[in-house]
Amino acid sequence: MALRTLDAHRAETVEALCELIVPGSGRVGPVVYVDAVITAMPPEVQAGALAAVDALGPAAAGGADALAEHERTPEFAMVRALAIEAYYSDFVAPDREGPGAWVEIDFNSPLAMRLKKDWSYLGIS
């Protein structure tokens, strides 16, 4: 699936950040979700999200210890929120098999199991 806002470098950075923040999340393709959410943001918020990704890029390359040094920054808070939402919303990118987070965390209440997830509002089909 083609990304709409993240270039290749930022996409790699987001993938690494998601995996560091939510270990195991990379298998569901969180970068597709994050890209869609960032694309839908108002321009000034979008610029802030992209700046947060850029600011954390070197730390992502350095691993968990390097990223931990940024854990109390606004940039980390922004990216952490996106990473957690991408995984725990039970998103699975169209080119990934899953399963999503709900299976992994055993979130299987009768109501949750009846939900048919539709990501089209984000431009993901």
Tokens of 65: 């210890």
Tokens of 86: 């991408």
Strand, coil or helix: what is 102?
Answer: helix
Report domain extents, the chain.
8-122
**Contact indicator for 85, 33 with CB cutoff of 8 Å:** yes
Q: What is the pLDDT of residue 117?
A: 82
Strand, coil or helix: what is 18?
Answer: helix
Sign of the C-alpha dihedral computed for residues 24, 26, 28 and 33 taken in this order = positive
Sign of the C-alpha dihedral computed for residues 71, 35, 49 and 115 taken in this order = negative
**4-29 residues labelled b (16+ CB within 10 A) or e (exposed):** ebbeeebbebbbbbbbbbbeebbbbb
Q: What is the pLDDT of residue 39?
A: 97
Return the residue matching tokens 């995996």.
19
pLDDT in tens, the chain (125 residues): 689 999 999 999 999 999 999 999 999 999 999 999 999 999 999 999 999 999 999 999 999 999 999 999 999 999 999 999 999 999 999 999 888 898 888 888 888 778 878 888 888 87
Q: What is the pLDDT of residue 48?
A: 98
Q: What is the pLDDT of residue 1?
A: 67
Q: What is the pLDDT of residue 5?
A: 97
